[in-house]
Amino acid sequence: MAEDRMIVCLACSAVNRVPEGKSLTAAKCGRCSEALATPQPADITNDQMRLLEKKDTGAFVVDLWAPWCGPCRMMAPHYAAAAEHLQSDVRFYKINTDQHPDAAIRLNIRGVPTLVAWKGGREVSKQAGAPGGAALERWVRSLFGLAPSPN
């Protein structure tokens, strides 16, 4: 039997038990009733990232970016498309490193954009650079053992 995932609600910081295999799009916070996953990447703070690292065991990817970064802006629509396609299994977050430099320092990020993936309460991969649409989605699918895209 698969273990439940512990998913942090970004709206109220509650930790929610979600059965493995249940679509995250159907999961709501037990405390505040907010959706636990969204079809678009959610902007998060350094404090929210710390909470995710400490208490969340589900699959998620964080894009560390900056508004002045051309490759970050070029990758943003591909990141949003991947979030929409994979929202039932993986959550997608963004941290603006200009607003939250402590997150980049703590995560040992040397340049932006950098994608960092977590599952089971641990960092599973880090990728610097701006992968395009199909490559980005393939990377996420392979990390989390998701079936290849039907297209």
Assess whether 12 carries a catalytic annotation.
no
Q: Structure pTM?
A: 0.95
The verdict on whether 72 is a catalytic residue reads yes
Statement: residue 2 has pLDDT above 80: no
Residue 28 gets which letter from DSSP?
A: B
Span 64-91, average pLDDT: 96
Is the per-residue pLDDT at 1 higher than 60? no
**Alpha-carbon span 129 to 50, nearest angstrom:** 23
Domains delineated in the chain: 38-143 (3.40.30.10)
